[in-house]
Structure 1
Amino acid sequence: METAELVALPLRERLLAMEALWESLCCDPTALQNLPTWHASVLNDRRVALESGRDIPSPWEAAKARIHAQAELMTNHAL
């Protein structure tokens, strides 16, 4: 799929595509070795925030439900 095709998708479908891409990266053992430097830095900062107790994680299903609800609101608002 070309980038232009992805960008043309409705917001909800783009979020679902993004979720599928992230899930595929999580299962790819080489993905972490090929992260851009800036991304590795962001991930490290987030890990430190979690370990220090500065950030409190949400269960993935709860976070995903929030994201989908926000996408739905944005889609309905755009109509």
Structure 2
Amino acid sequence: MKAIVHVTLKNGVLDPQGEAVKSALGGMGFDGVNGVRQGKVIELDLAEGTSEATVTEMCEKLLANTVIESYRIELT
């Protein structure tokens, strides 16, 4: 079983990496980009029977800084 965790900064939290990407894209001639929010994707290869609750606990304890980040879990 695989879990894919998408971690992004919460709305209202400054994203300096996203701003750097936006600026670089503008410098390369991509003028239609109004904003960029950067995040991370974590793929977990899990033993069969691992619950979504366990993956949530992993996110809460290590994979996401829940003060400033949100996460979304996909089980496949």
* Same fold? TM cut 0.5: no
Which protein has the bigger strand share? 2
Which protein has the bigger helix share? 1
Ranked by relative contact order (alpha carbons within 8 Å, sequence separation 6 or more), the top structure is 2
What's the TM-score once normalised by structure 1's chain length? 0.23
What's the TM-score once normalised by structure 2's chain length? 0.23
